[in-house]
Chains A and B, each alone.
Chain A
Amino acid sequence: MIGRAAILAAVIVVALTVETTLLAPVRLLGARPDLLLLAVVAVAMASGAGSAAAFGFAAGLAADLLLDLPVGVSALVYTAIGYAVGSARTYLASGRVLVPAGLAVGASLVAVWASGALLRLLDLSGFSWGFVARAGLAAALVNLVLTPAVYPLVRRLAERFVTGRVAHW
């Protein structure tokens, strides 16, 4: 259990570090790559709703604290996405290549649009609704390109430490 938590904590640190250094110049129509979101989707497919919600909360909180976002926004969104994907995984054929691609696109759209809407409604961001809409589409495209590099790796790591047939947190 401790080994699994340490591995997933390391995934968060590595993903945030890569996002802010190696991928720092990447910005498409204002949208930035979101490796943590791809990791949340991978953990959800590997471990189920409970584990993914917990991982999403930790990852979102770390992102909010490091990236100077209003703290709690990403935690809320990632928790919900992790829980939703983890709940739906029994309906998805995990062997198909299109599944992670579709999940990456869907999760990116929801993450950016939900975060943007939350920030706008709480008056914590000056970005326009138009920017939020465009950024969601652009983020989906950027994350789709990164999915083959991130999703299999994180999923394998998460599956390696799953105890039991179906993981419940």
Chain B
Amino acid sequence: MYEHTRRTRVVFVVLMLAAATVMTLDFRQRPDGPVERLQRVTLAVFGPVQRGVSTVLRPLGDAASAVTGGTARRDNERLRAEVERLRAAERGYQDLLTENERLRASIAMARRCGCRTVGAQVVARAGSTFQRSVTVDAGRAQGVGPDMAVLDGDGLVGRVLDASGGYASIRLLTDPTSGVAVTLAGSKAPGLLRGRGGRDLQLQMLHPNVGVAVGEPVVTRAYAGGVFPAGIPVGVVTAVGPAADGLVRTATVRPFADSDRLDVVAVVVASPRRPARRPSATPRATPRAAP
């Protein structure tokens, strides 16, 4: 027997219409629209919870992996407990050392591109099958805003999608909706790098008949209206596809940064200024004032 009442059916229809309306609002909204503000509130609510849980889980995960691989015997409980305590302390120091090294590497990467950056810790990863993103513990309070580039010690990681007061959501390079303007480090040929959901990225060259070689590094390209600084290492070409109908050549790029093992990142909050153009040898004629 059906349990449906008229009221239940009405509730269902109203909820489905509400979901469809929210989809439309999200699809058509302008920057800083109502749905985006709601996302920021959600980030602000969940961020501290996720950071707290991540902080607790990190040493537990380290300890669990150490215990499963340990060889301590049970012949002396007191000594064993003491050894475990010392090991736990050492793991804590090692954890701090590793974090410090990664942060230093991120800062070094940022210095190479002349950028001003803000360090941040990854506190959560996307829980969705159809999204590749992470949440970090730096937000608007630290100067982080949408579309800023995010690096780690190996290279470009992704871009800021949205930021609340103390947290930011980062869309990773590997997300299929991610696209980054790049150039081949050697030939300076421009291209567009897209995520595919997996580890590797797809490079589409902008001009036909451009030579692409396996092993060639790929770096970010600055362009008018773009937000990424130029020259940030992104990855290396691992395979070159055939030129489809002689139009656009594609290649597979393995990113330097391993998005599955992100821990500490740096958000580029200010890009270096581009060098001013040299004045031309022949000065322009000053336009005459209209009579």
A4 to B12, CA, bound (A): 19
A20 to B177, CA, bound (A): 20
Residues from chain A with Cβ under 8 Å of B18 in the complex: 57, 75
Q: Are B57 and A21 in contact (CB under 8 A)?
A: yes
Residues from chain B with Cβ under 8 Å of A17 in the complex: 46, 49-50, 53, 124
Chain A residues touching B, majority SS: helix
Taking a contact as CB atoms closer than 8 A, the residue among B27, B124, B197, B260 that contacts A131 in the complex is B197
Q: Are A13 and B49 in contact (CB under 8 A)?
A: yes
Residues from chain B with Cβ under 8 Å of A68 in the complex: 39, 126, 128, 131, 133, 161-162, 169, 171
B5 at the interface (CB under 8 A from A): yes
Given the known interface contacts A17-B49, A65-B39, the answer about A75 and B22 at a Cβ–Cβ threshold of 8 Å is yes
Shortest beta-carbon distance from A71 to chain B in Å: 4
Per-residue CB proximity of B251-273 to A under 8 Å, as 1/0? 00000000010000000000000
Taking a contact as CB atoms closer than 8 A, the residue among A20, A30, A124 that contacts B50 in the complex is A20
Chain A interface, number of residues (Cβ within 8 angstroms): 60
Residues from chain B with Cβ under 8 Å of A79 in the complex: 12, 15-16, 19
- In chain B, positions 145-184 with a C-beta closer than 8 Å to chain A are 161-162, 169, 171, 176-177
Shortest beta-carbon distance from B128 to chain A in Å: 4
Taking a contact as CB atoms closer than 8 A, the residue among A20, A87, A125 that contacts B135 in the complex is A20
Residue of B nearest to A21 (CB): B53
- In chain B, positions 52-89 with a C-beta closer than 8 Å to chain A are 53-54, 57
B210 at the interface (CB under 8 A from A): no
Q: Are A19 and B127 in contact (CB under 8 A)?
A: yes
B90 at the interface (CB under 8 A from A): no
Q: Are A125 and B176 in contact (CB under 8 A)?
A: yes
Residue of A nearest to B169 (CB): A68
Chain B interface, number of residues (Cβ within 8 angstroms): 55
A62 to B125, CA, bound (A): 15
Q: Are B7 and A50 in contact (CB under 8 A)?
A: yes
A69 at the interface (CB under 8 A from B): yes
Q: Are B16 and A80 in contact (CB under 8 A)?
A: yes
- In chain A, positions 58-96 with a C-beta closer than 8 Å to chain B are 60-63, 65-73, 75-76, 79-80, 83, 86-87, 89-90
Looking at B24, B43, B176, the one whose CB has the most chain A CB atoms below 10 A away is: B176
Q: Are B124 and A24 in contact (CB under 8 A)?
A: yes
Residues from chain B with Cβ under 8 Å of A164 in the complex: none
A54 at the interface (CB under 8 A from B): yes
B222 at the interface (CB under 8 A from A): no
A132 to B126, CA, bound (A): 17
A119 to B196, CA, bound (A): 15
Residues from chain A with Cβ under 8 Å of B8 in the complex: 48-50, 53, 168-169
A80 to B22, CA, bound (A): 16
Given the known interface contacts A20-B126, A166-B3, the answer about A125 and B15 at a Cβ–Cβ threshold of 8 Å is no
B11 at the interface (CB under 8 A from A): yes
A155 at the interface (CB under 8 A from B): no
Residues from chain A with Cβ under 8 Å of B23 in the complex: 70-73, 76, 122
Residues from chain B with Cβ under 8 Å of A22 in the complex: 53, 57
A126 to B171, CA, bound (A): 14
Given the known interface contacts A21-B53, A166-B3, the answer about A72 and B171 at a Cβ–Cβ threshold of 8 Å is no
Taking a contact as CB atoms closer than 8 A, the residue among B4, B49, B128 that contacts A87 in the complex is B4
Residue of B nearest to A20 (CB): B124
Q: Are A116 and B12 in contact (CB under 8 A)?
A: no
Residues from chain A with Cβ under 8 Å of B191 in the complex: none
A127 at the interface (CB under 8 A from B): yes
Taking a contact as CB atoms closer than 8 A, the residue among B24, B129, B162 that contacts A31 in the complex is B129
Beyond A53-B8, A168-B8, list 19 extra A-B contacts (CB 8 Å). Answer: A17-B49, A20-B126, A22-B53, A24-B125, A30-B129, A53-B11, A53-B15, A66-B42, A68-B171, A70-B27, A73-B23, A79-B19, A83-B12, A112-B129, A119-B130, A126-B177, A126-B194, A126-B195, A127-B130
Chain B positions within 8 Å of A, measured between CB atoms, are 1-5, 7-8, 11-12, 15-16, 18-27, 35, 38-39, 42-43, 46, 49-50, 53-54, 57, 123-131, 133, 135, 161-162, 169, 171, 176-177, 194-198, 260
Q: Which 7 A-B pairs have the closest CB atoms?
A: A126-B176, A72-B23, A19-B127, A72-B22, A20-B124, A76-B19, A24-B125
